[in-house]
Homo-oligomer: A and B are copies of this chain.
Amino acid sequence: MSTNVGIAGLGVVAQGLLELVRSNADQLNVIAGKNLSVKRLASRRLRDGVDLSEIVFSTDLDDLLNDDELDLVIELIGGTDAAYDLIKATLERGRGVITANKAVLATHGNELLDIAREHDVPLAFEAAVAGGIPIIAALKTRFPANDINWLTGIINGTCIYILTAMAHDGVAFEDALQNAQELGYAEADPTFDVGGMDAAQKLAILVALAFDVPIEIDSVYCEGIQDITIEDIQHADELGYSIKHLAIGRQEEDLVEMRVHPALVPKDNLLAKVNDVENAVQLGTANTGVLRFTGPGAGGHATASSVIADLTNIASGLYRHPGIGGGSIRVRSIGDVSSAFFLNIAAADRPGVIASIGETLARHSISIASMIQKKEEVIRSVDNEIIPVVILTNTVVERELDQALEELESLADIAAPIKKIRVVDLT
């Protein structure tokens, strides 16, 4: 018996996949229980130095659809339009698909999984989230959906690289970003990563798996790291926290929380130790406590290894459809989420300013857990000297905090906007 495979795309992951499949052929065949054979590859263009011997190459994705010898297609072209068309048409022809494409899943995943179930063919995507970490398998096969209370993750390599560089080397956001681009850790247009959309797409997939709900990318609250400064990182450090870009999902009663934003993480938490381009996912469960997974979030071989895990599982009959889409989703809006908050208030260095900040917060039932007033960090000096007042609040509903901040920003002695970063307690 054999499983004939077609590959779409010839980027880093596809190249890694070809290398690994060739160098591990015998062992993979044993695991799969049959002969795994890459028959065909379609990509817009050839690449020098890639060995395509015994593989039919073409530049037309339709050739993958029209080759009746193929049992499944591995989609590694990325993006949403062409990938969506290819995956849909492949599934509709009764063939399985493996994809590493979080974007197409985040935008069309519910429909594609319905088609896969309807035709009873696999649609597998271990490689789509957190590269080499086997988190999709864990969520699919390990936990009844009602067992998971929350998940937190560091799942965007660009953000973690930039925040690590800012924290360790004291370089500003723009310089860290440029450095990341030069090293290939950030795209030429980094907006998608540093703005949080990449993490949001991955979170929508993880949440759907964790809580057996549909994928709803539009309901993910999304903030990037563009406004994080070295001063924020230093102030957080003084208070005992690191700043990381987190993806957070939580289910409470019937409400699902999905949010991606910078957050203060206690320094002794595992997430605070995740640096450079490592990824991490933590699961807070009812029955198994907190489980933590870390590993490489990207890289051709790491991601290709996840594709291969899908491939051998499908070939040996170990595929199971995910619970995604089985339920409905009611999303808790960010205004209704409770957190502690880190605030940086630029205030005039005048008697009574601190008192009026405290009074305004108190009127909204917000208490102050810690405060740092930095006399030495004078920001500007027109009329008055302006100093940063750094506050860590106790837990408060965000809408209530926002009302308090609005009032504070209207005061003559306080400059708008007040910097606000959430503190994560799901650890």
Contacts and interface: CB of A to CB of B under 8 A. Distances in A.
Interface residues of A, number: 49
A144 B288 contact: no
A240 interface: no
A221 interface: no
A270 interface: yes
Contact of A294 (B134, B270, B296): B270
Interface string A41-63: 00000000000000000000000
A304 interface: yes
B273 A288 contact: no
Contacts of A200: none
A290 interface: yes
Contacts of A285: 305
A24 interface: yes
A142, A147, A296, most chain B CB atoms within 10 A:
A142
A147 B305 contact: yes
A291 B295 contact: yes
Copies in the assembly, this chain: 2
Contacts of A30: 323
Given A133-B291, A318-B318, A318-B320, A28 B273 contact: no
Interface string A292-328: 1111100101101110110011001110100100000
Interface in A115-130: none
B134 A138 contact: yes
Contacts of A138: 134, 137-138
A30 B323 CA distance: 9
Nearest to A289: B296
A66 interface: no
Contacts of A313: 141
A403 interface: no
A20 interface: yes
B287 A301 contact: yes
A29 to B, nearest CB: 10
Contacts of A323: 30-31
Contact of A141 (B24, B144, B292, B309): B309
A312 B142 CA distance: 9
Contacts of A270: 270, 273, 294
Given A24-B146, A138-B134, A142-B134, A287 B302 contact: yes
Given A27-B146, A141-B309, A288 B302 contact: yes
Contacts of A142: 134, 137, 305, 309
B289 A291 contact: no
Contact of A24 (B144, B273, B302): B144
Given A27-B145, A285-B305, 11 more contacts: A24-B147, A27-B146, A28-B144, A138-B138, A141-B309, A143-B305, A288-B305, A289-B295, A290-B296, A291-B295, A292-B294
17 contacts: A24-B144, A24-B146, A137-B138, A137-B142, A138-B138, A268-B273, A270-B294, A285-B305, A287-B301, A288-B295, A288-B306, A289-B295, A291-B295, A292-B292, A292-B295, A293-B293, A317-B317
